[in-house]
Structure 1
Amino acid sequence: MPPLAGFLLVLGVATSGLYLLSVRLPGEPRAGSGSLKFPSDLEELQELAEFLQYYNREHHVYVLLLFCSAYLYKQCFAIPGSSFLNILAGALFGPWMGLFLCSVLTSVGATCCYALSSVFGKKLVIYYFPEKVAALQRKVEENRNSLFFFLLFLRLFPMTPNWFLNLTSPILNIPVTQFFFSVLIGLIPYNFICVQTGSILSQITSLDAIFSWSTLLKLLAIAVVALIPGTLIKKFSQKHLNLDKSTLRVHLNGKKSN
């Protein structure tokens, strides 16, 4: 089977399975079920969160299955917008369960993307991004002796597009074990911020709630964690990595996206 046909088959099966999960909800149909789609803005995210919070009371396992399936789908096929799902996880499952879920799903989904790229996508990635692949290849080889720290640096680096790293890692002969754990550890600060934001938004019912001690402490935690990537980047780049100041900014220009 040609690579493109094989990829389209996998995509079709995964899309069909996710669609069936979203339309065959257990129990009586409820208003708002039409909101079961990937949100593209905060308004759609709020509508989806309200519906799933209500549905989660009676069908927690099904909501968990649906969320995990949707998250893995986005990660496997390098579809931008996982930050919305991170926020949704905080609203549905709370800050710590949400963080655990997002960290695990990000790692598993990124590894599935790695596998799909390895089997179906190497030629396409090289064809469409030859300069970026070559630039990243040079930096990987320069840091081969400290590869895990370099991968961790890339995940913490706020301008690195995660989808591109997922697609190119098998081309660069990055071991899947190091790839998996660099995603798991490196994206914890990013996932934490998103999940905590969702948790806070789900608990705010009035203006007074914004100034409660619980909310203020969570906002403080978000601010502290937001400083972690910069600190770690500086530490890793000075002690372990062979980097210049502008290479990654020039060749991997883009916003952080899962």
Structure 2
Amino acid sequence: MRSPTGFFLILGASTFYLYLLSTSLRPTRGRPATLSHLQPGEEPEEGRELKFPSDLDELQELAEYLQFYKREHPSYVLLLFCSAYLYKQCFAIPGSSFLNILAGALFGPWLGLLLCCTLTSMGATCCYLLSSAFGKQFVVYYFPEKVAMLQGKVEENRSSLFFFLLFLRFFPMTPNWFLNITSPVLNIPIAQFFFSILIGLIPYNFICVQTGAILSQIQSLDDIFSWSTLFKLLAIAVVALIPGTLIKRFSHSHLKLDKTDLGIPHINGRKTM
């Protein structure tokens, strides 16, 4: 294993870059002004600090704040979003669902989906490379039982490895971030790793992005029960069910899995998502 100094240098440089990028937007004082509070031509007050959202209220405020700047600086907001997304993925920081919803609110359902699928795959691959360079012994030392369990499953399904990786993304036996950092230890080829994420997380990303796009368009309770919104919610449900059903049927006949693996995923007796 290489010296952890290199990893901390990469982490520090990435954090500093993201900090500079986020502070280049004109901040606002106190509680951020939302779009509904701004008059035409009016800008937010100074003093706003950008941070990763931790709940839906913070997510809504951040979305409205960035939507304001996206009018005049769309390329800059796109760069900021991509950088923040890759930062979370590269360093295995949970909470990508909020950024997926934010993508739908900022960029719409289809561009948002394309961005999330691409950034998820790229960021997870960077995480794979960082783990391969700096984290193999760390992962084995701190998670020996979980690594051994995954290693056994991977070896049993080595002949259908790509479909097994898709199965893990649709029905995670372990969280996605943990699978990203353990994949180098499991000797999973990086190409199969990349495309399994690109394809396997499409339903999850679609649900989150569509949710963000819908929420950004809802102004009243009447909008929730409109035919347009109900149709979109139905489409989300179909997209979520069909791929999972197909891969589950494939797993019965091609993959070597326990019966418990085909139900709700658990690890250490608890459900993980």
Specify the TM-score bucket, using the shorter chain as the normaliser.
over 0.9
Match of 2:196 in 1: 182
Percent pairwise identity: 74
| Distance in 1, Cα, partners of 2:245 & 2:46 | 43
Q: String of CA shifts for 1:228-252, please: whole Å, max 9, x gaps.
A: 3530342221122011123563469
Match of 2:58 in 1: 44
Secondary structure class of the residue paired with 2:266: helix
Q: String of CA shifts for 1:143-197, please: whole Å, max 9, x gaps.
A: 0000000000000105530001100001111000000000000000000000000
| Distance in 1, Cα, partners of 2:44 & 2:140 | 47
| Distance in 2, Cα, partners of 1:21 & 1:14 | 11
CA contact (8 A) 1:189 1:228 kept: no
Please give the residue correspondences for 1:65-144 in structure 2 after superposition, counting only pairs within 5 Å. Answer: 65-144=79-158
| Distance in 2, Cα, partners of 1:149 & 1:189 | 16
| Distance in 2, Cα, partners of 1:32 & 1:96 | 33
* Partner amino acid, structure 2, of 1:162: N
Which residue of the other structure, out of 128, 143, 150, is the alignment partner of 2:164?
150
| Distance in 1, Cα, partners of 2:113 & 2:47 | 26
Q: String of CA shifts for 1:97-123, please: whole Å, max 9, x gaps.
A: 000000000000000000000000001
TM-score by length of 2: 0.88
CA contact (8 A) 2:117 2:198 kept: yes
Match of 1:10 in 2: 10
Change (3 A) 1:161 1:250: closer
Match of 1:227 in 2: 241
| Distance in 2, Cα, partners of 1:109 & 1:91 | 21
CA contact (8 A) 1:49 1:88 kept: yes
Shift of 1:207: 1.7
Q: String of CA shifts for 1:79-133, please: whole Å, max 9, x gaps.
A: 0000000000000000000000000000000000000000000010001100000
* Partner amino acid, structure 2, of 1:5: T
Could you say what the CA RMSD is over the residues aligned between the two structures, in angstroms?
2.1
* Partner amino acid, structure 1, of 2:248: K
Structure 2: tracts of 5 or more residues without a match: 29-42
Aligned residues: 256
CA contact (8 A) 2:100 2:112 kept: yes
CA contact (8 A) 1:33 1:51 kept: no
TM-score by length of 1: 0.93
Shift of 1:253: 4.8
Match of 1:255 in 2: 272
| Distance in 2, Cα, partners of 1:141 & 1:184 | 22
Greater alpha carbon shift after TM alignment, 15-24 vs 224-233: 224-233
Relative contact order (C-alpha < 8 Å, sep 6+): which is higher?
A: 1
CA contact (8 A) 1:157 1:229 kept: no
Secondary structure class of the residue paired with 2:188: coil
* Partner amino acid, structure 1, of 2:254: H
CA contact (8 A) 2:173 2:267 kept: no
Structure 1: tracts of 5 or more residues without a match: none
